[in-house]
Amino acid sequence: MDEQEVKELLLRENAEFRRAYEDHQACEKAIDTIRGKGHLSPADADVERELKKQKLALKDRMYRLMADYLRAR
């Protein structure tokens, strides 16, 4: 089972993974919105930095859940 198949399966069957995935997507959209402004204020840069940290933490969580699933199979 490849990475994409595991991701799709967990999106269907695992609420925690689905929530992390949706939050990750929301961070990505928020970052895109901030970047779309062109010139970032210091406050915007701070928000972008925090969103990137949150997005990375969510990605790490999703990969841990995927690894746990594969180990448990």
| pLDDT in single tens digits along all 73 residues of the chain | 899 999 999 999 999 999 999 999 999 999 999 999 988 999 999 999 999 999 999 999 999 999 999 999 8
The token pair that represents 69 in the structure block? 């699933």
Rounded CA separation 30/24 (Å): 10
Report pTM: 0.92
Q: How many CB atoms lie within 10 A of CB 42?
A: 7
51: helix, strand or coil: helix
Predicted local distance difference test score (pLDDT) of residue 38: 85
Rounded CA separation 14/19 (Å): 9
